[in-house]
Amino acid sequence: MKYWKKLSHKEQDRRITDALQKNINYNDNIPIGVPVSKLDPTVFNEHVSFLKEAPLLRAFIQNPNHIGCHTMGESEPFFEGTQELEKEVIELLSVDLLKAKENSCDGYIATGGTEANIQAAWIYRNYFIQNFDAGIEEIALLSSADTHYSVSKAANLLHIRSIGVPVNDDTRIIVPELLDRALEDAMNDGVKYFIVFSNMATTMFGSVDDPDLFAQHLSKHGAAYKIHVDGAYGGFIYPVSCTNSTVNFQNPNVSSITLDAHKMLQAPYGTGVFLARKGLIEYVCTREAKYVSGMDSTLCGSRSGTNAIAVWMILYTYGAHGWYEKISKLQLRTKWLCDRLDAMNVGYYRHPDLNIVTIRAEYVPNAIAVKYGMVPDTHTNKPEWYKIVIMDHVDIEYLQEFIADMKVHHKTEVYAQ
């Protein structure tokens, strides 16, 4: 690992304090031309003693605005200190987690995976329009049927069609023959350019798509395409648990990746990550934002620099080895659960490198689903699946209680027969 080290709380405090000192100081250097300020001191007391030991809360009070994409060069000078920490995060994630070459990626801390996915679709829609003179009706989003609903949002907002390819009900893998058929139908209907969303752990199942499968079939049909990886759930676990993964920037078919820090990384809600190879984010540069230094190439515009600092702190608190230990612990808990489900002959899906277990609804009575907060695949019809996500708070003792309830139910079912 080149960047992903473990830093003590003292060293983190020093780095964040130095960064905040490079930002605008509203007491000493008052900017009268921009609508920015620290949080209202009438409501948020900046003089409480505990702030001395809480660098993230100090950043929250100082309220840095990280508008723009700082890896592209010029940015607002008022917040240059904390922008540097965000740039460190983008380089660490691109290089050490996702295997990019140094300084080969742009990116920013988004408000979540949904925004990051829409950002990708926006970029590639403009890429095809500007480079190929593509018409809107000639561009389509392509993904598996298990893909997150943010892809449908992107299609709706950008006025392009969305194509979902069916998956095998047991393996959750895209059916190649149906992918071929979907491509043939779309191209016969005038589609020439495809924006592919390849999943690095779907939200409901934790299933992982093979981006090379998309590339192989699209190339066979002579279609132009760009592949975006939606790692909103799996981005902070799959690259660690699957050591031979090709779902990263070493894969030439992958152009951009979404991560979601408010899931596995346990950052504050409203914290996602968008990463893309150099030369792509420029396709959505809003040059009308002339009053913003460096203009703006993000979907959200103004955004909290505190969220970027939170990601920075989490990554450097664990370091690469500490994060591997955390993920390994969750994997062991997940395997423990699956072993017991196997012993009861309960039908479920689990990707071997992820911490999601999705059980077929026929094995889960409604009372158990409600008691344990299991998430169904639908709230509008009769569920077919219920999901369990093994997070830090889902310890073995709680899982033991769940398994005990499941055993009682299944014994009752056997006796009833």
Tokens of 182: 């979907």
Distance CA 146, CA 391 (A): 22
Single-letter amino acid code for the residue at 277: R
Tokens of 128: 């095809």
Single-letter amino acid code for the residue at 135: G
Single-letter amino acid code for the residue at 269: Y
Distance CA 154, CA 161 (A): 10
Distance CA 366, CA 286 (A): 50
224-231 and 193-199 beta bridge pairing: parallel
The domain 70-318 is classified under which CATH number: 3.40.640.10, 3.40.50.20, 3.80.10.10, 3.90.78.10? 3.40.640.10
pTM summary value = 0.95
Kindly report the CATH number that applies to the domain delimited by 319-416: 3.90.1150.10
pLDDT at 417: 43
Give CATH 3.90.1150.10 domain extents, the chain.
Answer: 319-416
pLDDT at 412: 63
HEC string of the chain?
CCCCCCCCHHHHHHHHHHHHHHCCCCCCCCCCCCCCCCCCCCCCCCCCHHHHHCHHHHHHHHCCECCCCHHHCCCCHHHHHHHHHHHHHHHHHHHHHCCCCCCCEEEEEECCHHHHHHHHHHHHHHHHHHHHCCCHHHEEEEEECCCCCHHHHHHHHHCCEEEEECECCCCCCECHHHHHHHHHHHHHCCCCEEEEEEEECCCCCCCECCHHHHHHHHHHCCCEEEEEEEECCHHHCHHHHCCCCCCCCCCCCEEEEEEECCCCCCCCCCCEEEEEECCCHHHHCECCCCCCCCCECCCCCCCEHHHHHHHHHHHHHHHHHHHHHHHHHHHHHHHHHHHHHHHCCCCEECCCCCCEEEEEHHHCCHHHHHHCCCEECCCCCCCCEEEEECCCCCCHHHHHHHHHHHHHHHHHHHHHC
Place of tokens 């955390």: 326
pLDDT at 250: 98
In angstroms, how far is CA 416 from the centroid of its own chain?
45
Q: What is the pLDDT along the chain (417 residues), one digit of tens a residue?
A: 899 999 999 999 999 999 999 999 887 877 788 787 899 999 999 889 889 899 999 999 999 999 999 999 989 899 999 999 999 999 999 999 999 999 999 999 999 999 999 999 999 999 999 999 999 999 999 999 999 999 999 999 999 999 999 999 999 999 999 999 999 999 999 999 999 999 999 999 999 999 999 999 999 999 999 999 999 999 999 999 998 999 999 999 999 999 999 999 999 999 999 999 999 999 999 988 888 888 899 999 999 999 999 999 999 999 999 999 999 999 999 999 999 999 999 999 999 999 999 999 999 999 999 999 999 999 999 999 999 999 999 999 999 999 999 999 877 654 444
pLDDT at 29: 75
Strands of the sheet with 105-110, listed across from one edge: 105-110, 272-277, 254-260, 224-231, 193-199, 139-144, 161-165
Give CATH 3.40.640.10 domain extents, the chain.
Answer: 70-318
Closest to 125 measured CA to CA, from 156, 164, 162, 160: 160
